Structure 1
């Protein structure tokens, strides 16, 4: 059976320790006797060589760490492959779940209407994009991220036909993203989502939303997006997961939200390696994940 381990970013100041944000996940796997490896993200950013311990047998890896650009992921994948380490999620599969222009074409019927550009569009192109929504409310993002914590300044447009206000919000978003702007501009229909309140700092709507981690289309866990608590399974979740079988990636997340009519809709797809647990119990997460991985891999030292 193939050997598998987990790959983490190391601490910025001590390459023998994991990044503090992933310390609990790293420790959880060590306690369970699972193979873990560290690499220095700073080396990847500087395009310096990444070197893992020499191995005679091929070892498959699942990454858990900070978001990587597609170029960084390509480099990491190829560099490790030369050392007999192979990422379970290949570069295409990483893009497929990380970038909206990949997953939206496959799952558009499950989610909000979206239009997007390639790169930063001209003002004329933005106006054409806005025209697709009439006077509907919309949200602004790029292929990967929104600025939802700047809800009224850089994210939410109440009326797409009010082009003066819309352009101001879109320009705010592009300027504030700066070099973190990813892929292209995305305008998405604002869905009538059931709200539990508003964020006390920025008035962002707190919606009824769940994050689901999946491995080979089997759910690992159901997480309340805002509290991190375990969410009770709903039959509708399984129906949506079944329809996500068109995704090639073996490890991904989907964020679902309930509309005021009671229907669950797809909000976002993410690569499982870089998706946040939102405060969910780390031990519970890995107990579920490892039980699925055991079907395919030798996990334990």
Structure 2
């Protein structure tokens, strides 16, 4: 396995400090580590130069800052020209990174969701009417702005068209150039405990820890209903965030590509690297 991580913007031959522990753990375990220029990849600028320090190899894993699906595909193509193959191909990255790619497979264990293509009012109203009434959560294909809960993430009543659109408009404004795909409306389900982040490799849950937003809190989710559905997706490396609903049932809040999911300190870098090396 070759681990690639973003370079430090000020010291481009060194790993970004946020991923330095994982780079060190990989080297200690005998894996090759290389740095890439994340900013260039995100901007779509000179991808071949951005990955120039990566050697050829059949199993490359990225651990770094989030990339849009198009930027990831550009990186994958540039690596392929060097004879380096990402473990997670561009199509699988998009399936994990954007909610429409994984929702149908996890429909039984996650809140009911509908989405638009684009950011227009008419499409938003059509999606809103599919969920009829009641409260909902709002996000785009990749991310919410839950830290702006009342103004841009929570829709108190779907039937109130103008109020719902004000929330959508604010979400769109805050996401700016990072807005991805369209609006996603997810039926609101009251939760009783902080989220737990689980790490899955080759369809198996390998690590469990807190969510980065609540690093001091953790739990042991019941994965009985979730595990076969995640395995069926056939994705190489993902995270699944879960939380307990008021009735005690564990629900999937989010699935994400594991390469760009943040690792809280409670999950040791050595444990994550060991799981990746085990394949």
Same fold (TM over 0.5): yes
Residue ranges of structure 2 left out of the alignment (5+ in a row): none
C-alpha distance 39-23 of structure 1, shift in aligned 2 (>3 A) = same
Kindly state the Cα deviation for residue 128 of structure 1 after the two structures are TM-superposed. 2.2
Aligned Cα root-mean-square deviation (Å): 2.0
- Counterpart secondary structure, 2:259: coil
C-alpha distance 5-291 of structure 1, shift in aligned 2 (>3 A) = closer
Kindly state the Cα deviation for residue 284 of structure 1 after the two structures are TM-superposed. 4.8
Correspondence list, 1:265-280, <5 A: 265-280=251-266
**Aligned equivalent of 1:154, options 152, 155, 165:** 152
**Could you report, residue by residue, the CA deviation over 1:39-81 in whole angstroms, capped at 9, with x for unpaired residues?**
11233225212343575x6342100001111111111111111
* Aligned equivalents of 1:25, 1:160: Cα separation in 2: 43
Aligned length: 275
**Aligned equivalent of 2:15, options 11, 18, 21:** 18
Partner of 2:206: 220
1:176 aligns with 2:174: yes
Would the aligned equivalents of 2:152 and 2:168 in 1 still touch at CA under 8 Å? yes
Kindly state the Cα deviation for residue 120 of structure 1 after the two structures are TM-superposed. 1.3
Partner of 2:189: 191
- Counterpart secondary structure, 1:187: strand
1:138 aligns with 2:136: yes
Would the aligned equivalents of 1:253 and 1:269 in 2 still touch at CA under 8 Å? yes
Kindly state the Cα deviation for residue 111 of structure 1 after the two structures are TM-superposed. 0.8
State TM-score, norm by structure 1. 0.85
Correspondence list, 1:46-85, <5 A: 46-48=44-46, 49-50=48-49, 51-53=51-53, 58-85=57-84
* Aligned equivalents of 1:231, 1:288: Cα separation in 2: 21
1:41 aligns with 2:38: yes
Runs of 4+ residues deviating >6 angstroms: none
* Aligned equivalents of 1:228, 1:136: Cα separation in 2: 31
- Counterpart secondary structure, 1:62: strand
Partner of 2:239: 253
* Aligned equivalents of 1:99, 1:72: Cα separation in 2: 14
* Aligned equivalents of 2:54, 2:182: Cα separation in 1: 40
Residue ranges of structure 1 left out of the alignment (5+ in a row): 195-206, 294-301
